Amino acid sequence: MQRKTLGRLLSILLLATSISGFAKEPLKDGGATTKEERKKEVSEYVKHHNLDTHDFGLYSYTGDDGKEHHVGFPLPVILWSDGLHVFLSSEFHHGEEVVESNGKYFALDTHSYKIYETDASGVINYDEDHHATNEKPLDLSITKSVFMVMVVSLLLFLLFRGLAKSYVKNGGNIASGPGRFFEPIVLYIRDDIAIPNIGEEKYKKYMPYLLTIFFFIWFLNLFGLTPLGVNVTGNIAITLSLALFTFFLTNFTGTKDYWLHIFDPLGNTMPWYAKVVLYIILIPIEVLGIFIKPFSLLIRLYANIQAGHIVLGSLIGLIYVFQNWIGGTLSFGLSFAISLIELLVALLQAYIFTMLSALYFGFASETHEHAEEHEGEVQHL
């Protein structure tokens, strides 16, 4: 019973910690006096939280001197503009200072958190839509998202390396240590995702990618629920890159029958002159489907994770908006419930991305025999 109680307390502490990640830079009751002003401040805060910045901000506070102090750690800024410029993001002082490097001046736009070239005064010009018009250097910086991608990549390498070593050590019978937790997941991906969708003959060549993409997305989603507040899979550039990997693997490993199904979907079911009119419609649809599949992957992952962070941040912000015990208690209760759902969503989105990738690989690995069976089923229907 003591172990169960301790486990429940640790679970509650973990969820409370994840919720606190959205409040690492507390909202200040400085200028906002009306509820509408506080709503606007919460909206701006949630947008800022979901941005990919050049530093990790843990929390901030206002000192006795009246100045705002930020606690966190900077990341390296790497820019290319008539030469290489390398410095720490802390030199920007959260957008308050201009950085001089090799005769060039750079400023951080506090609205978009992008870096622009400027002069010694640090002026950034904007157009009517409030978009910066300054020259933008080539930004190769290590942002929060890039840093967490590196961390998760290293973590996956150590995890699978340890899992493989434990198999060898135990004669290939059973994993030991942390591998006992991850082994059933690996077997599930193999037996319930890869083999049913790809087939026993060809699934092995896709297994490394399927395992990597599942754990990579899952771990990144979980890190996004920690006080670090890194919204990596809520970044459309990241989900686009992941979807492109699936896209290239699907089409570069596609068999002759896979491409015949795209450009000759009706096969020998009717004379060629009878198929001409149908093919004017069918072939463009099949070709369009090649690009729709990865697009659906990237949008689904991006939209679900981004929406989860926005909803959770907004619910926590309601505590500041209401500023009373009833509203604060209800907001915290809803935030706690959404955090539970987000833990499930983190796993579910990794599963869906992996499942659909395996399904697309199965289409690409289609053989002539399977194609004939499929055509027979269509004719029967």
Q: Single out the residue in 116, 141, 166 at which a domain terminates.
A: 141
- Which residues lie below 8 Å from residue 302, measured CB to CB, with a gap of 6+? 233, 234, 235, 236, 239
Q: Single out the residue in 141, 170, 198 at which a domain terminates.
A: 141
Mean pLDDT by 10 residues, the chain (381 residues): 42 45 46 69 74 78 69 88 91 86 89 87 85 90 92 92 82 73 90 94 94 96 83 91 95 89 75 71 87 94 90 81 77 86 93 96 77 45 35
- How many DSSP H helices and E strands does the chain contain? 11, 8
Q: Are residues 285 and 260 in the same domain?
A: yes
Task: Please give the residue range of the domain that contains residue 181.
Answer: 145-380
The predicted pLDDT at position 354 comes to 97
The amino acid occupying position 78 is I
Q: Single out the residue in 101, 123, 141 at which a domain terminates.
A: 141
How is residue 147 written in tokens? 């840093």
- Print burial letters for 310-340: b (CB count within 10 Å at least 16), e (below 16): bbbbbbbbbbbbbeeeeeeeebbebbeebbe
The predicted pLDDT at position 66 comes to 67
> How many domains does the chain fold into?
2
**In-domain check, residue 8:** no
**In-domain check, residue 334:** yes
As beta bridge partners, residue 132 has 126
The predicted pLDDT at position 260 comes to 84
Q: Are residues 173 and 273 in the same domain?
A: yes
Q: Are strands 68-74 and 115-118 parallel, antiparallel or unpaired?
A: unpaired
